[in-house]
A = this chain, B = another copy of it.
Amino acid sequence: MENQFRFELIHKSKKSGARVGRIHTPHGIIDTPNFVGVGTNATMKSLDSKQVDDLGLQLMFCNTYHLMLQPGADVIQKAGGLHTFMNRKQPIITDSGGFQVFSLMYGTVKDELKSQGRKKGDNAVLNISEDGVLFRSYRDGKKILLTPETSVQAQKALGADIIIPFDELPPYHIDRKQLIESLHRTHRWEKRSLDEHLKNPNGQAMYAVIHGGVDPELRALSAKTLTAMPFDGFAIGGSLGKTREQMIEMLGHLMPYIPTDKPNHLLGIGDVFSLEPCIKLGLDTFDSSHPTRSARHGTLFTSQGFVKLANAINRELFEPIDSGCSCYTCKHYTRAYLHHLFKAKEMTGYTLASIHNLHFMVQLMAQYREKILNDEI
């Protein structure tokens, strides 16, 4: 059945661990390797779903935590699921909400919360137990219990093509004993999530999240534990090191433990510099808000490097951002006009810049697939 979840391996590079594949989902195909755009609140900031579909962005990441609080998973379920609610035709992946809830304690998403005009601490984690996490909603003060079961139920209501089990995000600074305890609890939570999911798979696929922090042994243990369970794919989560080099080293150590007959995903990493080394290690998909956030801050991606729109040099450059680019923005508008929109703080500038950067990512990933097919990387 074409619209059932499955992974098709098309080609394995002769030169590296890189591979080209195709993930089949109920809402169409995701060519891999690929970039996954982040649309936290069921919208890619400043773009509507049709614009995102037209860009050819095959997989979009939405955040269960945010959607549970606004508009509520029940509302989205009544709408007929996230695809209908936001009118997205192509595949969607949701996370478990765990990352955001734990970030409240450690502040790792404080910048994101800030950008929403809220202060860190507006949310409060009230209790963490074997059952799950109790926290207070920043929207209405209601207490919400997030457990493996309630997270999966929310993700069933949202109805994404790919869902994620509930996990614990350990802080970067943690002693080994605590990290091991956290890891075992995460494994128990992921197992409970999988059990809840398998009661009613409903065409959804579930990717495990491999943890273990910056400890190679624990990473291997996590991979071995989770790959023994019938997950449909494997995501890599948590901290992988302080630098890109440490991350690549850790992934190099970890990837041999990841089954090659299933798709994998690197959570929250998708900046242009990290992609190629990760692709060479056999990673398939990458989600990141970096291209869209950069766009809103006026940094545009081009084949010649980054363009800072606010720079005075753009004031009278009556040419596209990237002369070789075929995106909507480059086809219709100049650097000088975009520079003006940014100086005048016009929202239109954020939209046009986001279109350009997402188009860049979609094209970049197509180029990587082409290179892999030709055994060039």
Contact = CB atoms under 8 A, between A and B. Distances in A.
A48 B348 contact: yes
A47 interface: yes
Interface residues of A, number: 44
Contacts of A350: 347
A78 interface: yes
Contacts of A348: 43-48
A4 interface: no
A343 B41 CA distance: 10
A316 B75 contact: yes
B78 A41 contact: no
Given A47-B348, A49-B332, A333-B48, A343 B87 contact: no
A205 B79 CA distance: 52
A75 B86 CA distance: 40
B43 A87 contact: no
A141 interface: no
A337 interface: yes
A350 B46 CA distance: 9
B318 A351 contact: no
A327 interface: no
- Among A85, A347, A350, max chain B CB count under 10 A is at A347
A71 interface: yes
Given A43-B348, A84-B318, A85-B337, 18 more contacts: A43-B341, A45-B346, A46-B348, A46-B351, A49-B332, A71-B336, A71-B343, A75-B315, A75-B340, A79-B316, A79-B334, A79-B336, A85-B334, A86-B337, A116-B345, A117-B345, A347-B347, A351-B351
Interface of A: 41-50, 66, 70-71, 75, 78-80, 84-87, 116-117, 315-316, 318, 328, 332-334, 336-337, 339-341, 343-348, 350-352
